[in-house]
Amino acid sequence: MLLSRDVQYTADDTLMAGRLIIPGGEERRPAVLVFHEASGLTEHELDSARRIAELGYVAFAADYHGSSRPDDDAGRMARLEYLAASPARMRSIGRAALEIVVAEPHADPARIAAIGYCFGAVMALELARDHADLKAVAGFHPGWADHDPQDSRNITGKVLLCIGSEDPWMPLQQRLALEEEMRAAGVDWQLNLYGGAKHGFTNPSTSRSPEPAVDYHEASDRRSWQAMLALFSEVFAA
């Protein structure tokens, strides 16, 4: 049986609202932070958190918009630009979410990972670049924000990046830059490239998007999820 509760917390002078999902039992378990897509915390990320909790992990679907959540494309772009302009701001928001998990009695603070979708992957990576004690980071169709590549030397966990070959927001040049950054930083990293997949390939609702660069891709969704689970099995092994 899963126990679920909504959690309000403050970050960047903004009231955030996430959801903590805990498997039954009293023992401490590995925990996973889930950072949402640009549009905000939706059923897509909540479902991911539930599926993770069903596997026996504590899951926290975190929030990085809060009361500033945008409701249209222009607002989303402005919000992402605001966040991306300050890695320190992204890190402080990520740290606030991490503190929720660390404080949860059912979570093992020595076994925490973070995953993120779209700009959520940027949030997860920036938290890792802040020397957060994350055993793993998994990013699905990650976005991009300017940052200091040298900060990736602070990443202590393993990194998995799952990218669609047809994603115009992560073209070859940026993929190569990410590879070089991870390599130079000495990170234990993987980059999985999924043929035929566009941006947002894990989210079934993107099949209704009018944006031609965005679409759901069932095979890549399934394969990337399995890649993430394999990473969790590796880093959370007792």
DSSP state of 206: G
What pTM does this model have? 0.97
pLDDT band for position 238 (cuts 50, 70, 90): low
pLDDT value at position 71? Answer: 87
pLDDT digits (tens, 9 = 90+) for 17-61: 999 999 998 899 999 999 999 999 999 999 999 999 999 999 999
Lowest mean pLDDT among 54-58, 143-147, 161-165: 143-147
Which residues is 32 bridged to in the sheet?
59, 113
Question: At 55, which CATH number?
Answer: 3.40.50.1820
Domain limits for position 138: 2-235
Helix/strand/coil percentages in the chain, nearest 5: 40, 25, 35
Give 227's pLDDT tier (boundaries 50, 70, 90).
very high
pLDDT tens readout for residues 75-116: 999 999 999 999 999 999 999 999 999 999 999 999 999 999
Domain total in the chain = 1
**CA distance to 25, 167, 218, 228, per residue, from 200 (Å):** 35, 8, 11, 16
